[in-house]
Structure 1
Amino acid sequence: MKKCCVLIPYYNAGDTLLSAINSIDYDYLHPDVIIVDDGSQITKAADVLKEYIGPLNIILLEMDSNKGIEHALNYGLSLHGRDYELVARLDCGDLCKNNRFSKQVKFLDENPDCYLVGSWVDFTDMDGRKLYTVEHPSDFESIKKLMFINTTFTHPTVIFRSNILDSVGFYPTDTPAAEDYAYFFKIIKKHKASNIKESLVNCTIDPHGISTIKRKRQIKSRILVIAHNFSINKYAVYGIIRSALLLYTPRGFTVFLKTFFNPNR
């Protein structure tokens, strides 16, 4: 079994795929990169990859039609997930930094009871300017409580043990645009998880990305996830109320607030 792969879903993302691949630290792990083209019609991943001249081994999977990110991720995991001890996530346009993989893999090797680890994350605009930093909790008890308010992991920062596929299964497909939130809830119910207290990924806020154009759908799915995992505690109650209010709050305004009040700008 190989050590690690990086799973990247792709849909008409163009050269942002290359920027993501080129940010992967190669020297430590030599991870394979599994790219799942989710039925692209405008710019296929195969055409973009013709320009890649780096050292990483690229495995390209192509879906016949566009089915959504959760289906693309599950397609990649079903074909190759169990070929690797660890599965890392990354999205087109997002950039790994600060020796991300060496630090996360070392953490998992030193903490065998931990099955998923993410990190803090810097959010940037389309020109690469830093907007704000999200500092996710590392303590597992805090993670379990705060998950009801919002996800305590940023999807492109996580790396998990592939054997969770046997205990947890694949990404849920009934929570569109919030498949990661639902999946992380499933994982932390059975396995310990953590975050490294350092920003290891830059995530781009794309005005045409899922979190923007499908924001209302994402929030509605988030409410369903909280309701499905609901327990009587202040975090769950606050999480439902908060998510309901966010349905009527423009994304641009929430980004402004996070940027303005963030001490790590």
Structure 2
Amino acid sequence: MMNSAALPASDAREGALADVAVLMPAYNGQDDVARTLASFDEDATIYALVVDDGSTPPIVAPDVPGMRVEVLRMPKNGGIERALQAGVEALAARGFRYAARIDAGDLAAPQRLAKQRARMQAEPAIAALGTWTQVINRAGEPLFMLRPSADARTLRRTRLLRSPLVHPSVMLRIDAVLAVGNYRVQYPAAEDLDLFLRLMERYECANLPELGLYYELNEGGISATKRRRQIVSTLRLQLHYLNVLNWRDWAGVAKSMLHFVTPYRTLQKMKRALFANSST
């Protein structure tokens, strides 16, 4: 059984972001949760749902000016896939239209939510909208910039070659996420790519070509601690969606195989060198 203080009913919410909720899964890291939520800078009240994935001690909702924070407690640690699944269902039940993802430790750029909501309101076909992302270290120093394509057609062509969206930067249309089956546990540590590929079968996915997120490179994060599981899940997805006539799909498979045999720290050094000229 999950416990949560109820978010306000949809007819009781006010402001330009009344139908938007920040969605953050968290396992321990109380200080990171508070720091991340405090980074949001918007001209309207913000609602945030923190899904506590069995933390010890439990996550406590921080007091953040201009923000209403609620905590949804999972009965035990079940992984980010189940936490996000429960979070989306909870937000849908409370009447929210959009879920803005972020992870504990990351930081939001000013007006990120307002900009994403405006674009998604203007283009209802978009089910997931990401942003460019500045990768930083624990000290906040810039390492490299991720600039995924802003064009939906380009993202479709390259979806298996590189991740089409940076997951913690994404705003999701909740009804679309539920329509394709929500987050799933079938592809551990690659739940984001699984969701994006299913969304692309029925909707559009795109990116705002501007900075929306500061992503903290954390060696304790999923990309490091569950790296082999993530690569295996990614390979399974690539083979499932493979278009044999698209050379980019084959290149994506080869890239995943290379990642499988390349040490994590070596891979990060390669990324820093590759994107050095893009760092800001």
TM-score range, shorter chain: over 0.9
Is residue 260 of structure 1 aligned with residue 273 of structure 2?
Answer: yes
Deviation by residue 1:100-121 (Cα, 9 ceiling, x = unmatched): 1111111112222222110110
User: What secondary structure sits across from 1:247 in the alignment?
Assistant: helix
- The equivalent of 1:187 in structure 2 is 199
Point out where structure 1 has 5 or more consecutive residues left out of the alignment. none
Q: Per-residue deviation at 1:53?
A: 4.1
Aligned partners of 1:179, 1:245: CA distance in 2, in Å?
21
- The equivalent of 1:38 in structure 2 is 53
User: What secondary structure sits across from 2:131 in the alignment?
Assistant: strand
Aligned partners of 1:103, 1:252: CA distance in 2, in Å?
34
1:25 aligned partner, one-letter code: D
Q: Per-residue deviation at 1:26?
A: 3.5
Runs of 4 or more, structure 1, over 4 Å off, are none
Is residue 96 of structure 1 aligned with residue 85 of structure 2?
Answer: no
Q: Percent identity?
A: 27
User: What secondary structure sits across from 2:257 in the alignment?
Assistant: helix
Which of 14, 18, 31 is matched with 2:34 structurally?
18
Aligned partners of 1:245, 1:154: CA distance in 2, in Å?
21
Aligned partners of 2:41, 2:85: CA distance in 1, in Å?
24
Q: How many residues get paired?
A: 260
8 Å contact from structure 1 (residues 3, 31) kept in 2: no
User: What secondary structure sits across from 2:209 in the alignment?
Assistant: strand
Is residue 169 of structure 1 aligned with residue 181 of structure 2?
Answer: yes
Point out where structure 2 has 5 or more consecutive residues left out of the alignment. 1-9, 11-17
Which of 244, 249, 264 is matched with 2:262 structurally?
249
97-106 vs 76-85, greater mean Cα deviation: 76-85
**Shift in alpha-carbon separation, 1:134–1:53, aligned structure 2, 3 A:** closer
Alignment of 1:118-129 (within 5 A): 118-129=130-141
How large is the RMSD of aligned CA atoms in angstroms?
A: 1.4
Deviation by residue 1:115-157 (Cα, 9 ceiling, x = unmatched): 2110110101111110000100111111011111121111110
2:80 aligned partner, one-letter code: I
User: What secondary structure sits across from 1:45 in the alignment?
Assistant: coil
8 Å contact from structure 1 (residues 26, 56) kept in 2: no
Which of 239, 247, 269 is matched with 1:234 structurally?
247
8 Å contact from structure 1 (residues 81, 87) kept in 2: no
TM-score with structure 2 length normalisation?
Answer: 0.89
Is residue 72 of structure 1 aligned with residue 83 of structure 2?
Answer: yes
Q: Per-residue deviation at 1:52?
A: 2.2
Deviation by residue 1:222-264 (Cα, 9 ceiling, x = unmatched): 0011112122121111111110111011121121122123212
Aligned partners of 1:194, 1:101: CA distance in 2, in Å?
15
- The equivalent of 2:147 in structure 1 is 135
Q: Per-residue deviation at 1:193?
A: 1.4
8 Å contact from structure 1 (residues 116, 192) kept in 2: yes
